[in-house]
Chain A
Amino acid sequence: MNLVVFADPVTAVASMPPVTRVCLLNLATFTRALITLCLLLTVTATASAQEAQAYLSQSEVAVGGQFVLNLEISGTQQLDEDPVLPDLSAFAAFVGSGSSTSMQLVGGRTSVSLTIQYHYQTTATGTFEIGPISLSTGGQDLVTEPLTVRVTDAPQRTPRGDRRGRNDVTGPEDLFVTTTVSKRRVYVNEPIVVEYRLFTRVEVTGYTVTDLPSASGFWVEELTPPQDGTRQVLRDGVRYATVLLRRVALFPTSTGAKTIEPLTLEAQVRVQRRSRSFFNDPFFGSRVPVVVGSESIELEVLPLPPGQPPEFTGLVGQLEVNASMDRTEVATNEALTYRVEISGTGNIRTLTEPGLAFPPDFEVYPPEVTERVESVPFVATIQSGAGDETAGNPDSGIRGYKTFEYVVVPRAPGRVTIPAVDLSYFHGDRITYAIASSNPIAVTIGGDPLAAPDASPRRRRTGLDLEREDVRFIRTAAHPFSAIGASLWHGTAFWLTLLLPLIAVAGAVTTRRHRDHLQKNVAYARRRRASKMTHRRLATAQSVRSPERAREFYTEVGRALQGFLADTLNLAEAGIMRDDVRARLVARGATEAAVDAYLDCLEDCDRWRFSPTETPAAPEPNQTTEDVMQQTLTRAEEALTALDTCIR
């Protein structure tokens, strides 16, 4: 008796829709007797040889990839209750399960076994232990050995031939992901457009990208269109459905070898059950998750050659600059719009404001910047055959537009030219530095600058920023140099300045003391003054010596005589008494004769001063009045001289 029974697992029956289950039960009744007999036979025969074994589909799996935990229980085809699975939520998510039973008759012995497959998708990297699984069957408790699984970082590189081994649903030619790059040898900052496409000739109901490649070392410009439908293409003579998964432009930021990492996705593939079941019905087709990944691509990033022009923007690609002005004739203080449009294939987003040289009379407001990057799709590469994954199409890919819109207000009339805008870039294909230039624009500004001062917005006041630090400028005025180590005291000027005022002060002090002496000692002063005054009065008298002015003459002579006395004796002129005078003069050492001569002379003068007759009578007949007067004067002088000589 050679009987092999393939039976659908209990779990599968339970999960089926009710209609299906009824149908199945009806069929089951058909052969109930036979199966019951067989089961009884086998159960009794192998009841003593029950054992459970757990194993993995692969011991190493990439993160995001799937693995299958198989639980094989020999000696039975049904379990009392569901096995207790260890908690794998730390690194894997449960995807689904399936089971199969087998019965073999080898060497007269039947062996039955039940295998349950648990599908998991890994979520974290590392080495993990899957704990023992405990289950019970036929009143017997079984425990499996623990297992170890290693979840690696990089998506698993599986050779194409291996795909069939990994899942038996699709082949490598049925479902795959391609990576297309525009270039493999690029310069730093030169764009590379990368496209990931899914090709399939099986029915895929949906997919999720499980592993998006990271782009370290690149500036990424996302170009994936939001809606890009499925297309039918012919590839290597086979009709495929293809869908664009992702399109990016990558700008390498450093030189050296780079890797474009693969993209991994999980596709839900609708499959039809193989004919090993009773129920070979297309209705039972089910969805099976299939993980596919693209291959990684190596790139070589070259450094930019030396000899960069000073105005180099860092842009690699092709560039065009256009400048325009909304009007070329405008009145003073009226706003103009100046547009600089830069377009090209470089990394246009990193482009900074171009250096513009507006005339100084122009007030320039900060520009309004708009930018737009669009992609040029690789239509050709989809259909191309063998070289598909690296198809080079340098012109297509990415194109960017950046616009700087300046509002400028000319503040003075005149004709001015706004110079051209020059942008230097590296031409990736010609391998040279090139310059893109706009045209200079001439503008005529008319009108009176003061016509509408109120209408113009005020210039904003801003602070000044130090662009760089530098020392202040040198001194250019030649100052007098001094000998090294020279001191102030060594100069003549110092001593002159010090001593001359001292001498001046000393002189002033001497003068002052002298004057003080004069003022304090009135007698001394009078004596010094006496002869001077006397002489002056006598001189006056001499000048009026005429008979007509006799009285005046005698007055002067008298005063001279009295004044001398007063000064010499330090007396008031008015209070001089004759006897008193004599005594005082004698006491000062005057001789009697001199005193007599003096007093006689004074008396004569007084007499003639106050006499009623106009002229003094001449004592002798041959004398004139004038002679008398001269005589008096001579006498007075003699008397004074005599007194002066003998008085101390």
Chain B
Amino acid sequence: MTSRPFLTWIVTVALELALVGVSAGQSTFFDEGNQRYQAGDYEGALENYALIADSGFESGQLYYNIGNTYFKLGELGRAILYYERARRLLPGDDDVRANLALARSLTIDDILPLPGFWLFRLARWWLELVPATALAWLVGVAYVIAMTTAAFAVLRPSASVVVWCRRIAITSGAVTLVFGVNLTIRELGIGIVDEAVVMAGEAAVHSAPSDDSALTIFAVHEGTTVRIDRQSAAWVEIVLEDGKVGWIQAIQLERI
């Protein structure tokens, strides 16, 4: 009976090792895709990138490259979609921000966003300050250091060592706590709004989820990012950055 958890653990480790092996296979796809991109074969690069995504793997870099490829192919809507996906995984990444800004500047809809509440902007800035992987490492290392030094302090080898151990433990414990909250919020996906990008060249926005063209209130164009509010069978209620609300057909959007 006592060997069961151990066995489970062994199986888990083996599986993870296997996954690393698969991931190495994805890397070759990735490299090949990059080579095709550099050679100007954007369609081919896209095929390679799609192989990775289809096998159930993702990374911010992958989405960024897919976004670039779609940009080069002139598909602005898809480029923005993938840049947005990359941004969720690499929130603070400079390249992703720059390319997303460039792609957005080429869209038809020039929406002036409502000024947000400063506290929300501050919280968002704080949450996106450190990339996800780095954050996980930071919290992990700080946690280990805090715990180790705490253990040392408890053992009390000598008075001066204890003082230093305690200082280190308090500092790294604070780091763990502060960034741990950040990590937890991000891992649990708290506060992430459901967003989508308009894929259709021009999509009519209706005041109600109905095909009646008399209900059209305005039109949005390819590449515009919208917030999803409610959803019925084939219709989605969207909220624009400037606060405009309307219903749009779900097939004209792609969720981020």
Residues of A whose CB lies within 8 Å of any CB of B are 469-484, 487-489, 491-492, 494, 497-498, 500-502, 504-505, 507-509, 511-512
Do A474 and B154 touch (CB < 8 A)?
Answer: no
User: Which A residues lie within 8 Å of B67 (CB)?
Assistant: 471
Most buried by B among A475, A497, A498: A475
Do B183 and A471 touch (CB < 8 A)?
Answer: no
A611 to B131, CA, bound (A): 84
**Which of B52, B99, B147 has a CB less than 8 Å from the CB of A504?**
B147
Do B99 and A472 touch (CB < 8 A)?
Answer: yes
Query: Which stretch of B29-37, B197-205, B233-241 is in the interface?
Result: B29-37
Q: In the assembled complex, how far is the CB of residue B91 from the closest CB belonging to chain A, in whole angstroms?
A: 15
Q: In the assembled complex, how far is the CB of residue B80 from the closest CB belonging to chain A, in whole angstroms?
A: 11
User: Which B residues lie within 8 Å of A509 (CB)?
Assistant: 154
User: Which A residues lie within 8 Å of B65 (CB)?
Assistant: 474-475
A473 to B94, CA, bound (A): 12
User: Which B residues lie within 8 Å of A511 (CB)?
Assistant: 154-155
Do B147 and A501 touch (CB < 8 A)?
Answer: yes
Do B152 and A472 touch (CB < 8 A)?
Answer: no
Q: Which residue of B lies closest to A477 (CB)?
A: B61
Do B27 and A512 touch (CB < 8 A)?
Answer: no
User: Which B residues lie within 8 Å of A471 (CB)?
Assistant: 67-68, 71-72, 98-99, 102-103
User: Which B residues lie within 8 Å of A477 (CB)?
Assistant: 61
A498 to B23, CA, bound (A): 25
Interface size class, chain B: 35 or more
Residue B256 at the chain A interface, CB threshold 8 Å: no
Q: Which residue of A lies closest to B24 (CB)?
A: A478
Do B56 and A489 touch (CB < 8 A)?
Answer: no
Q: Which residue of B lies closest to A497 (CB)?
A: B140
The digit string for B65-79, where 1 denotes a CB below 8 A from any CB of A, is: 101110110000000
Interchain residue pairs A-B with the least CB separation, the first 8: A501-B147, A508-B151, A481-B57, A478-B27, A475-B61, A508-B154, A474-B65, A471-B99
Do A474 and B34 touch (CB < 8 A)?
Answer: yes
23 examples of A-B residue contacts, CB within 8 angstroms: A470-B102, A473-B68, A474-B34, A474-B68, A479-B61, A481-B23, A481-B27, A481-B57, A481-B58, A483-B56, A487-B187, A492-B12, A497-B143, A500-B144, A501-B146, A501-B151, A502-B147, A504-B147, A504-B148, A504-B151, A505-B147, A505-B150, A511-B155
Do B68 and A482 touch (CB < 8 A)?
Answer: no
Do B152 and A508 touch (CB < 8 A)?
Answer: yes
Do A512 and B59 touch (CB < 8 A)?
Answer: no
Do A474 and B147 touch (CB < 8 A)?
Answer: no
A500 to B148, CA, bound (A): 10
Residue B43 at the chain A interface, CB threshold 8 Å: no
A477 to B90, CA, bound (A): 15
User: Which A residues lie within 8 Å of B26 (CB)?
Assistant: 481
Residue B95 at the chain A interface, CB threshold 8 Å: yes
A487 to B103, CA, bound (A): 30
A478 to B32, CA, bound (A): 11
The digit string for B41-63, where 1 denotes a CB below 8 A from any CB of A, is: 00000000000110011111110
User: Which B residues lie within 8 Å of A488 (CB)?
Assistant: 136, 183, 187
Do B102 and A469 touch (CB < 8 A)?
Answer: yes
User: Which B residues lie within 8 Å of A479 (CB)?
Assistant: 59-61
A364 to B37, CA, bound (A): 37
Do A478 and B30 touch (CB < 8 A)?
Answer: yes
Enumerate B132-178 residues with CB–CB distance to A below 8 Å. Answer: 136, 140, 143-144, 146-148, 150-152, 154-156
